[in-house]
Structure 1
Amino acid sequence: MRITPVSEAEVVNEDLVVLAPSESIDVEHDLSMSYDFRSAGEGHYSIAARSRCMAFEDNSGELIPVDTTVQAHSVHVSGRLAVARPTVEKRAWFTGCSAQQQKALYDASSAAQILAATAVDYLQTHNESTTRYTTWFGEYTPARHDYVLSTFFKLATKNNFYDSFWYDCTGSTACSKARAWVWPSDWGHIYLCPQSRIFGGNVTSGTLIHEASHFNANGASQDYSLYVTDTMNLAKTSPDKAIRNANAYDFFAENSPPLD
């Protein structure tokens, strides 16, 4: 963009600042208005403005380049990173779902979004071994804790159970062995079977947490256990597997009966 300073100065323009020779100004930028650190998380960041090459036109009309210099500023982001709570907007997609099934899925998907955010809150405020954590994920280490927190953070922020997910109620041969299932590479597409708890009136939102944790973008959890007891046993015997076990995320999020 080329501007003519003399012409611009004659027009009232609050976006134009005229600097005298050797004069400078300081401008304060609120980084939170431009950058979202929730996905990146805590840590040290080096922030620098993009270097721009400008030019001015001398009396002969020739453009003379002026290179700008940039000095980076280092900051440390810490604390509890906020997770936005959902406001339900009924825009999910459905295939083969009755009106009653769609209503059940809306209720379950909204609850799943809240469960994921609540799990993030809990993990951010409990950076130590707790009964709730060790019951489902086994022996506590900071690295395992961070892995679980990262997965729930994706479930709470990257996923939109009630907004952008696609629910398929047509059933398939896979329904002979499962209540719900997904293709890990098929982001946001969850297949529900007739025997799913979502259509049975029991606690249902954990099923969506379970299935969403299977998506590759969320860490590609596995079905290392089928029931409550073997999920607990896996946590005791193989915590490295437990933190990648879909049922562990389901049961941890539902927290029923409640554990501290």
Structure 2
Amino acid sequence: MTTATPPPSPPEPTTRATDHSPGARVALVTGANKGLGRETVRRLLAAGLDVYLASRDAERGRVAAGELGARALQLDITDDASVTAAAEQVRREVGHLDVLVNNAAVVGALDRTTEQVDAEDLRVVHETNVLGLVRVTHAFLPLLQTSPAGVVVNVSSGMGSLGRTSDPTAMESRWPSLAYASSKAAVNMLTVQYAKAFPTLRINAVDPGLTATDATGGMGKDITEGVQAAVAMALIGADGPTATFTDSDGPVPW
């Protein structure tokens, strides 16, 4: 496993893909009808990939995919049957998968203090952010392993970094978030364990940083900046890094 800094971000796209070339690399982005997921789809399409825009809400996903020129895929990562059906659809339509971006996540109740948060709060968040990631990764591993350069990008957070959340000078140390932060710490460990188990794949975690989305109430950097690390890692080749945690500036402490 390497610890290389991610490659430079690709230039901002000015066009979108509208066809599905049989020779194109195939990507799938979860939670992609809006926010970071949608922008990731847009960037990967512009880079020439054939992209599945996966969304829990089938109609919202269909509309977003139509606007971008992506393939719509109904996928509720908290539901085993939905995940199995989605993997079968991709297998039937294209027969393989080159890039999986595990982007779908929930923040949980932000108005509850650490003292107020209970096991049910954690269950709700971990069901999506942790178990959902495992469901999707497990289901799509056979398709990823047919790719000559299979890539998995797990969208994590600096809130899941033990280094940053324990550093009093870091922004992440000042945001109490028992459920969300613990779920993203679990995502980081899953990334390392999957990378060790599947050395032929490139499996990495990325931190978008505080980005202006619905989940942050519009606070943070522009969304085009927030996806840079995910897009860069999605576009690496078979000789790219694996088992790393990076943001757009480079390595992030675990």
The verdict on a shared fold, with TM-score over 0.5 as the criterion, is no
| TM bracket, shorter-chain basis | under 0.3
TM-score by length of 2: 0.24
TM-score by length of 1: 0.23
Structure with greater contact order relative to length (CA < 8 Å, sep ≥ 6): 2
